[in-house]
Structure formats: C-alpha cells, structure tokens
C-alpha cells in the first residue's frame, strides 16, 4: 500500500469513528479539537493531521476561487471535500451551501436545493446569528423556481463577499488568507451584524461593526472649534456586506478586478452611501451604542478639507464648485510625481495591467505603488489625524451639492484610476449624480453629535 492509499484508509477510519461518536452523543457537532483527538485515536499521527489541514486549505482555496468565478460545479466538488474535513466550520458549510445554491439556480435540480438548505441549517446550528445562512434558507423556501430569483442577485453578491472575500473565521491565520491577500479583520466573519460593543483604542473610537473613528478639529464655518469623528478607513466591502443583508436593494455591481473584504467598496452611489449611514445610525441607536442625538453621515466638503489640513485656507461659505482646483498643494507638498508610498494612484505598476476600455491610458511616471487597482484600506501611511487613503484608492462622496444647481453631489480625494496632477491636488472636487457610482467611487462615514452641529 503506497502513502496515498494508506492516508486514504486512515482518513476513512477517522471519519467513520468521528461519525460514530457524533451519533452516540445525539448528533452533537464536533469541534476541531474533538476531531483532532478522534483522528489521533484512529491511528493518524500529528503529521497526518497537519496533512489533513493542508488538504483542507487546498480544497477551501480552490473551491472559493471556483465560487467567485461562478463555476459552481467545480466549487461543489472542492467545498464538499472541505466540509468533510472541517464540519465544525460554519463558513465552509455556508460557502458549500452557496455553491449548491448556484447550481440549483443554474440547473433547477432539486437535489442541489435540498443540499443547500441542509448546509445552511447546519451553519446556523453552529452560528445561530449567521444572517447569510438565514437569508439563504428564506430564499430557498420562498422561490421554488430558481429562474424567478432575480431579487436574490443583489444579496448573492454580498453573500459571495462573505464567503470568498472574508474567509472562515476559524481559519483566519491559515494560508487561505495569505494567498487571497486579506488581513486580520476587526470583526469575526460569522458576526454579520452589530455584535461588538464599541470601545476606545487610544484616541480611536471603535464602533459596533469594527470601524475606527478619529477626531478631526474643524477650522472655520459653523462648526469652528468643534471636532468631528472621521472613519479612519474608507468603507470596506466587509462593512457594506453587513448593510446589504438588511438592504439588498442597495446591491452594487461587481468590479472587473479582484477585491477582498478589506478593500474599499466601489460602484456605490451617493444614495447608497447615505442609506448605509442611516442604517448604521439605526443599528447602533437600537443597541444603545450611540445616543439619540448622535448619527452617522457623510462628511461635508468643508469637513473633508479640514481632514486634509486645508480647512483654514478655504472659505467654508463658498460652494464646492467655487473652490474646485484652487491651490497647488498635494497631500505630501508641492513636488510631483508623488514620493514613495504616497497613495494608490495609476502608476507604473499599471503599464502591464491597462484598463480594458482604455488600454493607452497614461500613468503616473516614475511612481509605483504596487497596486494595479484598489488597495486594502490602510495600506499606506496615515495623515496627521490618523486617517488613511484621503488621497488615492477611491473617490469619496461628501454630503454637499457641488453647485447651486443642486444636480450633482461632491466627491473628494482622487483614486486608483487617476494619473494627472490636477486630479490629485488637495482642492480637486469631482461632481457626480447622486444615483450613480463608478469603479473608482466609494465613501467613508463620520460620527457627529447634533448638539454640536446646531446652527449649521
């Protein structure tokens, strides 16, 4: 018997023994440590157990990749293997359920619908608060004909991000995350909702979904002398995913490039961003995490300038269109091209990764930030207030109208797609229709107290 045959026999013995124990204990779900003990008692060595872990990682990574590509047939093959190896992982059960759901939507086979329902229910046994699994069960029960499931598309995009972009919380230190480029997340993946208590980390306020906020002093205008709490990051895919579970109508288009949970959400409109802030306000008020006089919203154009350090140099009473392109300064000073590590722009790294619809687009010469599209939030150094990516990565929506015509809203901060000096200057404003968003548009929230804002 060769090594592969021996390991296959040992694995079969291990799984048989695990099933016997599980049945003896009334179907109680076994955790990872219990399975490890059974494996060792069944004749496997520690080295064999590590091999099983490697196989789990391989099947998980490959299955999630197939799932992301919409190749549900192949995804099911690998993810079912992963379920066998890690029946204690709610996230793997959930991902496999999504793969079967995709197959059912595609082929209409009843067996896939039944299996998807079974996997979602097992996921909920492990994590009763797993909103994605609950939504999956509800949708399966509501629509017996998969061809009628158009409403599910927006939710499905969010759920795929949970499964693919964020990964399994039980495996957060595994090679799965290293290969996919994700980082440690502030909230466990299974906690899809406001389950963390807010707390402080030095000068930072951390809210119920793990967003960090830092105080920015306001100079000039009605808020002169006050402080506004700015999210130190652009709103991430993992944050927007939580919102989408309750608000699927605000689903967004999947970009034509890869992202993970800690990348900034794109293709969001001003309307989407405002709805997110309203949702977060309601969620945290209900939980008692913020007061009735506190709320989340988009920053104003003037608050944005204060966060960039130029609030005192601008007239807060002027419209954004009147301040657009005023001033020669970049976030790092007057020099151009940007210094190393200044932010995520369309630099030399994009010469070999041109835009499909603009293959001859210019790049920032003599600058390479290492990211051809969006970058994980916080990949570059923060500014003096501890805020990341105020320049580059994505344009960010502000609360104001761009001009007195009240047709377009304001965007600030430049993005990964920008290369021209004029687009990256501190004073640059873009206008945009409130109902539209592009692959370079995102947002960040601020937390304010209405008492402070009286008179604005």
Q: Is the domain of 169 the same as that of 282?
A: no
Q: Is the pLDDT of residue 274 over 80?
A: yes
The last residue of one of the domains, among 152, 180, 208, is 180
Q: What pLDDT is attached to residue 168?
A: 28
Q: What pLDDT is attached to residue 222?
A: 85
Per-residue confidence at 43, pLDDT binned at 50, 70, 90?
low
Average pLDDT over residues 133-158: 57
Q: Is the domain of 136 the same as that of 235?
A: no
- Is residue 46 within 8 A of residue 40, CB to CB? The reply is yes
Q: Is the pLDDT of residue 329 over 80?
A: yes
User: In DSSP terms, which residues pair with 442 in a beta bridge?
Assistant: 396
Structure tokens at 443: 């947002």
The last residue of one of the domains, among 180, 208, 226, is 180
More confident residue, 360 or 342: 342
Number of structural domains found in the chain = 2
Per-residue confidence at 39, pLDDT binned at 50, 70, 90?
low
Residue 4 lies in a domain: no
Q: Is the pLDDT of residue 293 over 60?
A: yes
Q: Is the domain of 60 the same as that of 167?
A: yes
Residue 394 lies in a domain: yes
pLDDT in tens, 373-388: 999 999 999 999 999 9
More confident residue, 57 or 246: 246
Q: What is the CATH number of the domain that holds 55?
A: 1.25.40.10
Residue 13 lies in a domain: no
Per-residue confidence at 319, pLDDT binned at 50, 70, 90?
very high
Q: What percent of the chain has pLDDT over 70?
A: 73
Residue 31 lies in a domain: no
Q: Is the domain of 323 the same as that of 437?
A: yes
Q: What pLDDT is attached to residue 441?
A: 95
Q: Is the domain of 215 the same as that of 267?
A: yes
Is the omega angle on the peptide bond into residue 337 within 30 degrees of 0, that is, cis?
A: yes
Q: Is the domain of 142 the same as that of 213?
A: no
Residue 431 lies in a domain: yes
Q: Is the domain of 321 the same as that of 271?
A: yes
Q: What pLDDT is attached to residue 84?
A: 79
Q: Is the domain of 371 the same as that of 441?
A: yes
Q: What is the CATH number of the domain that holds 337?
A: 3.90.1580.10
Q: What pLDDT is attached to residue 145?
A: 52
Residue 30 lies in a domain: no
Average pLDDT over residues 175-201: 35
Q: Is the pLDDT of residue 233 over 80?
A: yes
Q: Is the domain of 207 the same as that of 128?
A: no
Dist. CA 122–CA 171, nearest whole Å: 18
Q: What pLDDT is attached to residue 31?
A: 61
Q: What pLDDT is attached to residue 378?
A: 94
DSSP letters for 119-179:
HHHHHHHH-TT-HHHHHHHHHHHH-SSGGG-TTHHHHHHHHHIIIIII--GGGTTSHHHHH
Residue 309 lies in a domain: yes
Beta strands in 339-444 (DSSP E): 395-401, 409-412, 429-432, 441-442
More confident residue, 231 or 34: 231
Residue 448 lies in a domain: yes
Q: What pLDDT is attached to residue 190?
A: 38
Q: Is the domain of 176 the same as that of 205?
A: no
Mean pLDDT of the chain: 79
Average pLDDT over residues 153-180: 32
Q: Is the domain of 77 the same as that of 160?
A: yes
Range of the domain at 138: 45-180
The last residue of one of the domains, among 180, 213, 243, is 180
**Alpha carbon 307 to its chain's center:** 23
Dist. CA 288–CA 197, nearest whole Å: 10
Q: Is the domain of 261 the same as that of 221?
A: yes
């Amino acid at each position: 018997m060769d090594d592969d045959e021996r390991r296959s026999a040992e694995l079969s013995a291990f799984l048989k023994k695990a099933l016997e124990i599980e049945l003896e204990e009334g179907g109680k779900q076994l955790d990872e440590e219990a399975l490890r003990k059974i494996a060792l008692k069944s004749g496997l060595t520690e080295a064999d157990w590590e091999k099983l872990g490697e196989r789990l990682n391989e099947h998980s990574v490959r299955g999630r990749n197939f799932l992301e590509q919409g190749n549900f047939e192949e995804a099911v093959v690998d993810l079912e293997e992963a379920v066998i190896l890690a029946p204690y992982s709610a996230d793997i059960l959930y991902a496999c359920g999504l793969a079967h759901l995709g197959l059912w939507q595609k082929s209409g086979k009843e067996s896939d619908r039944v299996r998807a329902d079974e996997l979602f229910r097992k996921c909920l046994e492990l994590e009763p608060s797993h909103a994605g699994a609950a939504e999956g069960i509800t949708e399966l029960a509501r629509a017996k004909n998969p061809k009628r499931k158009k409403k599910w598309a927006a939710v499905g995009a969010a759920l795929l991000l949970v499964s693919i972009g964020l990964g399994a919380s039980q495996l957060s230190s595994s090679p799965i995350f290293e290969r996919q480029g994700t980082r440690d997340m502030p909230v466990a993946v299974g906690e899809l909702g406001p389950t963390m208590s807010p707390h402080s980390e030095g000068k930072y306020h951390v809210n119920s979904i793990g967003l960090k906020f830092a105080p920015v002093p306001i100079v000039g205008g009605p808020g002169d002398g006050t402080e506004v709490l700015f999210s130190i990051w652009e709103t991430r895919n993992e944050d927007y995913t939580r919102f989408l579970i309750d608000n699927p109508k605000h689903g967004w288009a999947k970009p034509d490039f890869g992202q993970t949970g800690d990348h900034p959400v794109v293709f969001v409109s001003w309307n989407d961003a405002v709805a997110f802030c309203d949702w977060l306000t309601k969620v945290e008020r209900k939980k008692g995490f913020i007061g009735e006089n506190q709320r989340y919203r988009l920053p104003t154009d003037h608050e944005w300038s204060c966060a960039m350090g130029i609030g005192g140099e601008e007239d807060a009473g002027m419209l954004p269109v009147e301040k657009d392109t005023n001033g020669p300064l970049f976030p790092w000073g007057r020099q151009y091209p940007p210094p190393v590590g200044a932010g995520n722009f369309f630099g030399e790294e994009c010469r070999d990764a041109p835009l499909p619809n603009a293959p001859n687009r210019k790049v920032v010469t003599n600058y390479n930030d290492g990211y051809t599209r969006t970058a994980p939030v916080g990949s570059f150094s923060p500014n003096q207030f501890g805020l990341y990516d105020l320049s580059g990565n994505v344009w960010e929506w502000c609360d104001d109208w761009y001009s007195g015509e009240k047709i377009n809203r304001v965007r600030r901060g430049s993005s990964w797609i920008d290369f021209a000096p004029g687009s990256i200057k501190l004073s640059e404003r873009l206008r945009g229709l409130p109902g539209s968003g592009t692959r370079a548009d995102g947002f960040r929230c601020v937390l304010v107290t209405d008492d402070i804002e009286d008179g604005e």
